[in-house]
Every structure is written in C-alpha cells, then in structure tokens.
Amino acid sequence: MKYENVFSLLEKITILNNEKISLGMKSKWGWNEFTYKGLGLLSRRLASYLINDLQIEKGERLAILSESKPEYGACVFGSVLAGLTTVPLDNKLTIYELESILSNCEPTVILTSSANIEKAKTLKSKISSIKYIILMESSSDENSEIPSLYSIPENYNAKWRRRPLNATAFIIYTSGTTGNPKGVEITFKNMLSQMYDLQIALKEILPPGDMRMLSILPMNHLFELTVGFFTFLNHGFSIYYTQSLKPKDILDVMVEKKIKFMITVPAFLKLLKTSIENEISKKPKLVQLIFNLSFKFAKFLPMKYRKVLFSQIHKKFGGEFFGCISGGAPLDPIVGEFFTRIGIKIYQGYGLSETSPVVAVNRGKVQDIKSVGPALNSFEAKIDENTGELMLKGPAVMKGYYKRDDLTLEVINNDGWLHTGDIAHIDKKTKLIYITGRIKNMIVLSGGKKVFPEEIESVLEQSPNFAEVCVMGMKRNFGEKDGCEEIVAIVVPSDEYSKRFKNNKKELEAAITNEVKYLSNRLAPYKRPIKIIVRNDNLPRTTTRKLKRTEIKKILCECSK
C-alpha cells in the first residue's frame, strides 16, 4: 500500500473543512472552539516557533503534559510539522514517575497546561535535556515569563520538516513504567495504516454525513490519539472534550452539542448503566413495570424503534446519540446488551499500544457482543498452538520499545509476529476474535490447572451489589500447598449495598461472601475463589480504568499479614 504523506493529509483536512468546528471544550467562560482553519493556523504558529525561534533540531523529542483540550491537538500537529517526535504524558503520574520516563526519552521541550505548570517546572529542574517550557493557554501573571501558544510570534511560515514513514512519530509509555520505562515507538507508517484501516471499518459503523463526537479518554492514551483524534479529524468530524467525567457533566455536553458518537471504556458504560437503573428505581412502580416490559420486548424490535420506545432516556443523551466504540478492557456482555436493548449500539474493540493500537472492532453483518470482532484489514492474526496466545502481524505493529531492543525481541519474533500476551480463539467461519485472558495474569493451581482471573471476574461482576471485582492468585506460605497459588477475590461493594448494613462490617462481609459463593456455582469447582476480601476503597486503576494488578497484589499481601 502506498501511504499518503502526513503533511498533505493535514493540509487536505484543513482545506476541506475550513470554517467547520474541529475541536471544542466548555470552560467557565463558555465554549472554546477551534475551526479546522484555526487549528491549522495555531499548529503552524507553534511549528514555526519551534523551528525558527527555538532552533530545535529535527527528530528531537517534544513532551506534552496536559489534560485533553483543543490546544492539545495544535501541539500534536505543531510537533509533527516541526519534524519532532511527540511524547504524550499521563498528567496523573507523580513527579517520580514522570522523571523516570523523561530521563529515558530526553525531550528538549515540554508543552504544558496551566494546571500542570508547577509539575513541568519541577521536571525541567530535574531533567537536563528539557530546555524550554511552553504554556498551552494564555499566560497568567505568575507565569508571564513562560511563553504560551498565544504569546509566541505570529509567524505561520517555515520549511516544514518531512520525515520518512519509518521514523518515530510518537513514543507512548505504557502503565507501570516506574524505574524501568517502556516506551512504545509508533511510526508514521503505523499511524497511517491505522487511519486507513479504520476508515474502512467505520464505513460499516457510522452513517454518512456530519458527525459530532464526544471525547472522554485522555489524549496521552493511544486509543484516543489514533481513533478519537487523528481518525475522526481525517473524516472531518467535530470533536468535543469534557472537563469532568461525572455522568451529569458528560450528559450536559451531549445535550448541548447533540453528540452522535463516542469512544469510551467499559468502566464508564457500566457507570452509566448503573446511573440509568438507579434513576428508574426511584420512579413509581408502574413506570418501573413499563420499563421492564419494554426492555424484554425491545429485543424483537429494529434499533430505530427501540430509540422511540426509550425516547425519554435518549433525550437525556441529547436525542441524536446512537452508539460508541468500547475498548481498553473487556466489555461485560450484560452491559453491552443493556445499551443495545435501549437503542444504543456498542461496538466492542480490541487493541494494545504495540499495535498502534486498534486490532479489531465488531462490525459488519456478523457481530457478537462477546467477541471483539474481526481483525482490521491490514492485520494477520493467528493463535499459537502451544500456548493459545494471539499473534499479530501487519504494518501497524510498533517499531519497538524505545532504547530497549532486548524487550522488543521478547515480543516480536524474527518473522515479525507480535506476541500479544492475550489468550484468544478465532472462529474459523466468522473470523471473530474472542479474548479469554492474559498470560501474565494466569493463575496456576497446585494440580497444574490454569485459571484466568478475567473469566471469574466476568461472573462475579454480574452482581449489581458489587462496584468492583478483582481476582488474583496468591501464593500460600504454609501447609502441604506451600508455594502454590490459590484464587483470591477482592470485592468493593456498591454504596447502596453498603448502606443496607449500617456500618456493620461483619454482616456486610458475610453477605458478600455468600453472594460470591452463590455466583461461583456457575464455575467449575477449581475456579471458585478460596479467599474473599471486602474492601471499601476503590481499587487502583490506570487512566483508562484498567486494574493496576501489581498495586492490588501489594494490597493483598498487606491484608494477609
């Protein structure tokens, strides 16, 4: 395949969409919206400043430390035009964690939002490679000495720096990088391959015409960057960001901007489902009865009639919202079915940072909410006969881990096949991919039986009384099975459920234990949790709501002392 030049791509979307809104976000002063033309101008202004004024060399690294906002897009495009490698950072990380990452990639400049300016200043004092800080908004009085996107010279011309397709466009640092950073190198070819694949896939998902999209994932996450930013802008869509992830605030934006589609993570969908169900539970008994009957009957109706049947719910979403792509973690089929039944289509996808990141998404005539759909066009997919691991090959597979050839060789073999670390099977007839677990999460019991915690979690998560569930293996240090793993379930009860027991911890723990045992009857005896731990605090998660199993393992160790 011959890939289009990145610069001609940027120019094309700017010219085609000119005065149309590209990116927008509501602040306390009102809506901050960029047209495609405005986004292009601000991007060129930044690139010109980086090249002409700061004299930053081609191929150097530029880090971005910010929450999602319209200016973020101009920073990404400006970095590309200036011929730099962009390093999006998770602004939720600590100074210690960020110092470890930045010591690895050694950026010359850091672009930061005002909310992260102090963190950026501290990092500049600690990382010798960082020469410049640029503020993404207008400078306040206390930061007047720091240039901002709006105070730099209004020069929009420079000789834009073209880089080869195999050059690194982004370095994405994955979770758990403290002390041993692992940066995924994404090339321009990787990125363009994704955009072409998704352009084909989205034709089977999105109707033609104007689209207004909602973005709730952080821009430092590759799923958001590739799909929610580059791909959507390539289609000429309008993208809106939110300052808060509270359902009420998100729904306000959806109503005001008549949002039609979004990409999200399963945890948010589960939260939204719970919010809808809680609201219905407060209605009169007759209204509840009508909803339950309608819900049962809806599966026999086409999607357009389901929207009419549940029109009151759809009004709360703005009246034009019809679906979303869910990725980043496994989607509970019950959650997916709930939204499908009320007329909102959920397309489960699958990917990993090492594949730029999307591998598959449910689409086409044959779909199964339990699967992640067929692989995108450019991917080859197969299952390792010995381990059951999903293996992938294609132009979207990463260049490698930055400065870590040793780690790269561990996951990409000599034939170019990437080891995903995921256990899966592929339906021979439909080509649908089903992810069943992670090799590294696998629990090996004393008898040699192998158990995947995701399977057990999917059963326990069906309880409406459990807000969060995590299943892990924990080694015994006594008795005949000393050194062997046993299955432990950590459960965080929902607030509503906890209130029923009026702070009686023992009664709450007993009730949860009984419920876990009841639900576990659906599993083979050897898969049932041996130990159940009730926790009141939320479980540690990444910005994309994945469980931080390493930190949870530490919690388990403390509980067992």
Sheet holding 433-438: strands in order across? 380-383, 389-393, 418-426, 433-438
pLDDT at 480 (0 to 100): 47
Which three-class secondary structure state does DSSP give residue 365?
A: coil
* Mean pLDDT confidence for 316-334: 91
Cα–Cα distance, 72 to 499 (Å, whole number): 42
Q: What mean pLDDT, rounded, does the chain reach?
A: 90
**Looking at the predicted structure, is the pLDDT value of residue 177 above 60?**
no
Beta-carbon contacts of 81 under 8 Å, excluding residues fewer than 6 positions away, are 7, 10, 43, 44, 47, 158, 160, 161
Task: Say which amino acid occupies 30.
Answer: G
398 with 410: CB under 8 angstroms? Answer: no
Residue 448: per-residue pLDDT: 66
Q: pLDDT of 14-53, one tens digit each?
A: 889 999 999 999 887 889 999 999 999 999 999 999 999 9
Superfamily of domain 442-560: ANL, C-terminal domain (3.30.300.30)
Q: Angle 51-56-57 (CA atoms, 0-180°, nearest 5)?
A: 100
Question: Rounded CA gap, 454 and 435, in Å?
Answer: 10
Comparing 6-163 with 232-394+407-438, is the CATH topology the same? yes
**Does residue 479 surpass a pLDDT of 60?**
no
343-391 residue pLDDT tens: 999 999 999 999 999 999 999 889 999 999 999 999 999 999 988 999 9
Contact predicate 540/548, CB 8 Å:
yes
Mean pLDDT of 269-285: 91
Amino acid (one-letter) located at 317:
F
Rounded to two decimals, the pTM is 0.85
What is residue 1's predicted lDDT score, i.e. its pLDDT? 57
CATH topology of domain 232-394+407-438: Rossmann fold (3.40.50)
Name the pLDDT band for 203 (thresholds 50, 70, 90): very high
In this predicted structure, what is the pLDDT of residue 165? 93
Is pLDDT larger for residue 444 or for residue 477? Answer: 444
Nearest to 419 by CA among 374, 349, 352: 352
Q: How far apart are the first and last CA of the chain?
A: 58
Q: What CATH homologous superfamily does 6-163 map to?
A: ANL, N-terminal domain (3.40.50.12780)
Break the chain into its structural domains and give their ranges.
Answer: 6-163, 232-394+407-438, 442-560
* pLDDT confidence of residue 446: 66
Lowest-confidence region among 288-302, 322-336, 481-495, 514-528: 481-495
pLDDT at 77: 95
Omega cis (within 30) before 374: no
Q: How far is the C-alpha of 543 from the C-alpha of 221, rounded, in Å?
A: 8
The per-residue pLDDT for range 226-237, each reduced to its tens digit, is: 999 999 999 999
Closest CA to 41 of 176, 150, 146, 191: 150
Q: How many other CB atoms sit within 10 Å of the CB of residue 208? A: 6
Question: Mean of the pLDDT values across residues 427-443?
Answer: 89
